[in-house]
Every structure is written in structure tokens, then in C-alpha cells.
Structure 1
């Protein structure tokens, strides 16, 4: 018996893998090629395009952690359907899905992922399988601020440039917070539905800049960046399709007053887990 982690070498999967191993839980990483993760975890080859390959990895698993990769929406839809089919066939004991920032639980209708989107297809399909599951719903990840085109400007110019307006509150969280919640949900089959992850109340761009100021010991100011300009910065990192999706997200955020979670379905309320402050996160990552 083991825990199956998608994206175990990536931003969301790797912290969860480390968390599980630190608590003595056996884990298997899913990758394009079989081999060994840098920490010694076995990597099993299984492609999102193959229901049978996925099902063979999911079989007899105590838990499966899934999040959709940043690719075209057409591909994500196909992957979502294949993942659901594989889960339905393999019947693992518990499934935890991360929305990776897509909004499915609140508050502004215009920000909700469409019913025919990949993430909604995945969540709805998972519900229909009848498997024990939970969905983690973060908003924006603090690790976004470590992207080279963002962090380089912080270091060289003392300016944090990011899309939201200066007075726009966000329930920021880190990948480390996401991992804490996912690990806890593996052990809490009594908790189902959507669990919101993020700081509550939300914080603003100047709040983030102040945390960088305090951590680095020199002044950092906040400047809003247009969604289009942000997308262009991301093209070399995640490609045109991924960058376009990110730009669209921030264009949508510009039409609403906040991107914050509700207290009633938060990890704080349901699991007693409070996300790291920006200062705590900066200290832990050793920036």
C-alpha cells in the first residue's frame, strides 16, 4: 500500500512527497519515465493519455494526489477524463485533488471555472465515482513571486511587480501549505468536499512587499503589473497556451474586489491548519 503523487518532481507534488516521507508513509511518484526520484522514491511511468497506465498505478493505493498540468485546455480535458476513468477502475482508498488556483467554490460567479472546464470535469467525475475524496482550493501561490522575472526585479530594483491592484486582497498560500492540507486530508476521510487554502483575511500587494522589506532588510515597494505584461513574462517559462491562461485569470481578477477564501470551508476551520504568513514562508524557504 502506498500514496501515489502526481507531479512529485514539481512545485505542488514535491512538498507533499517530502511531507509523506517525513512521516514514514510509503509513496510512489508518477512520471513520464520510470526511475528514481532524487530522494530515492520510485518513479512509475504513467501518461495522462493512458487510462490503463494510470489505473495500474492507482490500484491498491491508500491515496492519490492529482492536479492537472499547465497545458492547453483541450489536453487538460482529455487528461481529466482519463484520470477519472482510471480512478473509477482502480478504486484507490482516498483521492485528493488540487485545483491549482482555479476557483470552484466562491465567491464571484464570473471567476468560477466553467462547468465544461477541465477542473470541473475532473471534480464532477470524481464525485460520480463514489470514491472517498476531497478537493483543495488554493487561490494564488506565494511561489509565483519566486519566478525569475519577478524575483530578479525585487533583487535588482527593490520593486515587486505583480498583476493585482495595490488594494486587492488575496488569500495567498504556499505550496508547503497545500502539502500540509493534502497530507492531513489523506488521514481524514471524514472530511469531503472543497477545502479552501489561504490566508484569511486576505493580504494585498503592499503587504507582500513589506514582508520582503523586513526579510531582506531593504525597502521593497509594490507596483501592479498588467495581466498582459505578466503573461508575456511567462511565455518562456510555460509556453503560449499556459501564459494565455494565466493572463486570462488575472484579467478576470481585475473585474472583482478580491480573491479571498471563505472561513466556513477553510483549512483553518476544517483541519485546524493555519497557512504560513509571508514572513514565515520567506524564512522557511531561505530566500
Structure 2
């Protein structure tokens, strides 16, 4: 039985493939490119847009790691529906879904919330990984170039806004643990605790780079402008809108009671550890 990993060549799926392969597990990498080469994995071309392809890929799987890509809300709704159709038909032994920081509150709704509710109703063993914000966001050119060139870390949060940051590497660690720990179900929060602020991030960069680095809050509109050339106008506008909503919140901290630290004994990297791991 194999472990099926969505986005196996991307930022979220690739670390999961690597972690499972390092543990000696058989891995099937799902990609849109049938000619892709993924170290430690068998490659299968299957996209979110085909429930039939997903059903074939999930059938007989020991586990499936899935996350919804950054795309239009309408596409994400279709993808969530196709994933649920495939899970119900193929009935893999275990599904681990990473929310990628998107809301899963039924009162708010949205594709991620629909997927979480559908998995709960499917009768298939599953768990939900719930990160807040990804440290990899700080590697976007508008951030890391500014840090290196100006000693300024710009980000679209207030200076006093605490966040339980997590990395894609942390998500992979938790996903592998959840494939093993089938006794753990429901939502598992992933991120640093206590939560840290923008100036805390800047201090970690300063220590790592051996130079002064200060934090600079930017507006969601500035974020949209910075992201549009990288991900397209529509996706950038959606991200900026999410940060506009975030600006009204007190912070984004995980809940200790549902944390990976408590439920799995997996402690996410500090910002300094992450910087060292990714070679900044």
C-alpha cells in the first residue's frame, strides 16, 4: 500500500514526499506532468479537476495527503467536491488534509470547510492539519530581497499581531506522524507557541544574517501589488482580501489543546531553526 501525495513537486507536497521516502515508505506522487521525476516516488498524472483520476489514484492507498491549491474560489469548490467523491468511492485507509491556513469554520464556509465536513461524514479515517501562516511566505521576493538589500522585513500584518508561524517542513513532519497515529483525528493545530510578532521575525533574520533587520508593516493593497506579478491579479486580490480580514483580528495563534505539540509530541521549528534548515 502506497502513500498518495498531492502537489508532490510543489512547496507543500514535496517535503511530505521526502519525509515519507526517508522513512522507507512507498510513495505515489500526484502531479499534472506525467513526465515529472520525483525522487523516492512513483509518479502518477492526476489533477484535482478529475474525480475519476483521483479515485483511481486513491484506491488501495495507505494514506492520502491533500491540500487545496491557491486558485479561484469556484475552482477550489470543484476540487473539494472531486476529492470527496474520490475518497468516498476509493476509501483509502487514511486521509490527511492540510487547510493551508484557509478557514474551516462552518459558519464562515468555503471550500476548505466543505472538505473538512465531507471528510467527517465519509467514514474514512482522517485528520486535519491547521496551520496559521507559513514561514515560506517570508521567502517571497518582495520580502527576502528587501531583507537582504535594505535590512527591512515587510509584511501585511501589524507589528503587534502575534502569529503561530509554521513551515512546510513542519507540515510534513506532522503529516507523517498522522499517517502513523491513526488514533489522532480531527483538527491538529500546527505552529509556534507562544505566537510571535513581526519584530520577533525580524530579530531572527538579523541574528541569522548578522545585520540589523527591522519589521515594516505594509497594507493589503501593497501586498496585492507585490503578489500580482507572481501569481496573477485574481489570486493576488484574493490573498490581499484575506489579509484585509486578518487586519481586524487580534492575532493568529494556535490552540495549545489541539496542537501537534500536545497531540503528537511534534514541536514546530523556531524561526531561527527554519532559517538554518532552508539555508537563508
Fold in common (TM above 0.5): yes
Deviation at 1:43, TM superposition (A): 1.5
In structure 1, distance between residues paired with 2:100 and 2:213: 27
CA contact (8 A) 2:29 2:38 kept: no
Distance 1:237 1:36 in 2: 22
Secondary structure of the structure 2 residue equivalent to 1:264:
helix
TM superposition shift of 1:236: 1.5
Q: Can you give the 5+ residue segments of structure 1 that lack an aligned partner in the other structure?
A: 105-111
Shift in Å at residue 36 of structure 1? 4.1
After superposition, the C-alpha distances for 1:54-99 in whole angstroms (9 at most, x for unaligned) are 0000000000000001110000000100110011000000000000
- The answer (yes or no) to whether the contact 2:8–2:38 under 8 Å persists in 1 is no
2:211 to 215, 218, 226: 218
Partner of 2:13: 13
Q: How do 1:248-287 residues align onto structure 2 when only pairs under 5 Å count?
A: 248-287=241-280
User: 1:196 deviation in Å?
Assistant: 0.3
1:42 aligns to 2:17 (yes or no)? no
The residue aligned with 1:31 is: 31
Q: Who is 1:100 aligned against?
A: 100
Instruction: Write out per-residue CA displacement over residues 167-208 of structure 1, whole angstroms, 9 at most, x where no aligned residue.
Output: 110000100001000010000110000000001110000000
Gaps of 5+ in 2: none
Shift of 1:114: 5.1
Distance apart, 1:41 and its partner CA: 2.1
Q: Deviations over 1:81-136 (max 9, x none)?
A: 011001100000000000001133xxxxxxx4755411011111111111000000
The TM-score normalised by the length of structure 1 is 0.95
Answer yes or no: is the 8 Å Cα contact 2:103–2:112 preserved in 1.
no
Please point out which of 195, 198, 202 is paired with 1:202. Answer: 195
Alignment of 1:244 onto 2:247:
no
Alignment partner, residue 186 of structure 2: 193
Q: Is 2:55 the counterpart of 1:55?
A: yes
CA distance in 2, matches of 1:98, 1:248: 21
Mapped partners of 1:140, 1:241: distance in 2: 20
User: Does 1:86 find its partner at 2:83?
Assistant: no
Segments of 4+ moved more than 2 angstroms: 35-38, 112-116
CA RMSD in angstroms comes to 1.1
Give the one of 130, 133, 144 matched to 2:137.
Answer: 144
Aligned equivalent of 2:4: 4
What SS does the corresponding residue of 2:127 show, helix, strand or coil? strand
Please name the residue that 2:66 is paired with.
66
Residues 89, 53 of structure 1: alpha-carbon distance in 2 compared, 3 angstrom cutoff: same
Q: What is the TM-score with the length of structure 2 in the denominator?
A: 0.97
Question: By how many angstroms is 1:40 displaced?
Answer: 4.8
Contact 2:135 2:167 in 1 (8 A): yes
In 2, Cα distance between the equivalents of 1:113 and 1:149? 34
Residue 165 of structure 2 corresponds to: 172
Aligned residues: 280
Give the whole-Å Cα distance in 1 for the aligned partners of 2:106 and 2:253: 15
Residue equivalent to 1:107? none
Distance 2:77 2:22 in 1: 34
